Amino acid sequence: MTKFSDLKLDPKVLKAVAEAGYETPTPIQAGAIPHALEGKDVLGIAQTGTGKTASFTLPMITLLGRGRARARMPRSLVLCPTRELAAQVAENFDIYAKHTKLTKALLIGGVSFGEQDKLIDRGVDVLIATPGRLLDHFERGKLLLTGVQIMVVDEADRMLDMGFIPDIERIFQLTPFTRQTLFFSATMAPEIERITNTFLHAPAKIEVARQATTSETIEQRLIEFTPTRKDQTAKQKRELLRAVITAEGEACTNAILFCNRKTEVDIVAKSLKKYGFNASPIHGDLDQRQRMQTLDGFRDGSIRFLVASDVAARGLDIPAVSHVFNFDVPSHAEDYVHRIGRTGRAGRKGVAVTIATPSDQKYLDAIEKLVERPLPRVAPPEGFALSEAAQKPARKDDDRKPRRGAEKTGRKDRRDRPVKPHGEEAAMTPVEVTKPVEQAAPQVEARDEVKADTRPEKDNRGRGDRKDNRRDHKDDRRGGRDDRVVGMGDHMPDFLTRSFKPKAEKADG
């Protein structure tokens, strides 16, 4: 059996590995490290949780042992799709390089540029970054990539899902042609294959497991659930989730619960807290410090349930996760492999439970096609029953509370006001008249009589008549028009009666 001592690593690195408690490399490590130490490009394909991080960290530290970093010119570059994964790679580097003098910098969002600029100005051997923040520093003129000797792309398929491929291609073009490239991915999509063919030179391909396979140490379960009301689907799923967690009992020491949307993450976490479960949310909209505190709390056991979006589905190394719950079926089949890969790591046993509704059938079909086997169906926990609140309509129109302040002011709630028709409905809907025309007409006549006394005298241009005409047309639109004929009526302006014949000129005397 191959051991780390057989891989020709630097003695200082071997010492750090031994202190971390590792003796035997995983298959991806045993396959990738020798080729990386020879300076070859490496294309590593392995399912999540197989130790890909150490596959490039250990040879990188060994190769960078000789040389010195220069200001603003890192000697190696590690690209990660998420802040959490980048921070985890930085932690691994600290563990394995603690007996060396190599320096590192972590460039991720949510951290001030000033602190990161100071690290870059000193010169770093290893630069660990997300693509967006790396390009931000480059465009500000704070960073040069012409000194990169080793470039690593971690979780490349996640880069593809997050839309980072154009950034990756640009970064490749900013680095020297003679660099060594280590490329790791759990799946090999056509776009990923195109990039490897473009930027990798005769790579050594190490594939230690069939693409998109799930670990045999994970017990997978699928609960097919049909809601009684479509508008209460989410609430009924939350009740089922709590019943499943309760049924697991002490076997569920901790768990990651995955949702498809960030808003759903917050709702599920809030619901679990309400019913006494120690849960916290994590997703991309949270502050970076809060995200790291949540992860640290989950690692040290102060947080039992981590409710997450797919930001936590890739690469996070939390070894002792007993369960994974898919509150939502992932819309991308590859994400299912990554999600359940958070449990059953390093040879441990794990359980993955997925809750599916009839609307998720197309996603289930794609998952089963990818993993090439059906997901084991199980029944809901024994004795599970929906509450009365979950079977009632989500909102009753009769039970709606009046708008705040409506009772004091006497104004009607805006929701109770009749909706005015528009578009085609306006053409088809008769206009509602609050008073009959017979009652409105005398009021209009009286109003006209009053105004007639104060009406300005008509001048020769008939200005008053035009005002009357406009007023009459306005009354027509209001529905209060009397039967008088619209027009000049009995009055004829003076200028129409004038004679335009030229006056006879007087004869010259």
Q: Where are the domains of the chain?
A: 4-207, 218-391
Average pLDDT score over the chain:
81
Summarize pLDDT for 308-348 with one digit per residue, the tens. Answer: 988 766 656 777 899 999 999 998 888 898 889 888 876 78
Query: What does the alpha-carbon distance between residue 160 and residue 167 come to, in Å, rounded to a whole number?
Result: 10
Regarding pTM above 0.85, the answer is no
Given this model, what pLDDT does residue 312 score? 65
Amino acid at 27: P
Cα 10 to Cα 21: distance, rounded to the nearest angstrom: 17
Q: What is the 3-class SS of 102-154, one letter each residue? A: CCEEEECCCCCHHHHHHHHHHCCCEEEECHHHHHHHHHCCCCCCCCCCEEEEC
Residue 265: both structure tokens together: 């993450």
Q: Which residues of 313-348 are buried (b: 16+ CB within 10 A; e: fewer)?
A: bbbbbbeebbbbbbbbbbebbbbbbbbbbbbbbeee
| Confidence (pLDDT) at 446 | 41
Quick one: CATH architecture of 218-391? 3-Layer(aba) Sandwich (3.40)
Q: What is the CATH number of domain 4-207?
A: 3.40.50.300
- Side-chain-facing half-sphere of 380: CA atoms under 13 Å: 19
322 neighbors 253 (Cβ within 8 angstroms): yes
How confident is the model over 86-98, as a mean pLDDT? 92
CB-CB contact of 385 with 243 (8 Å) = no
- Residue 280 has what DSSP assignment? E
- For 315: left if phi > 0, alpha if psi spans -120 to 50, otherwise beta; the answer is left
4-207 and 218-391 share one fold: yes
Q: Which two tokens stand for residue 47?
A: 């399912």
- Mean pLDDT along residues 163-177: 93
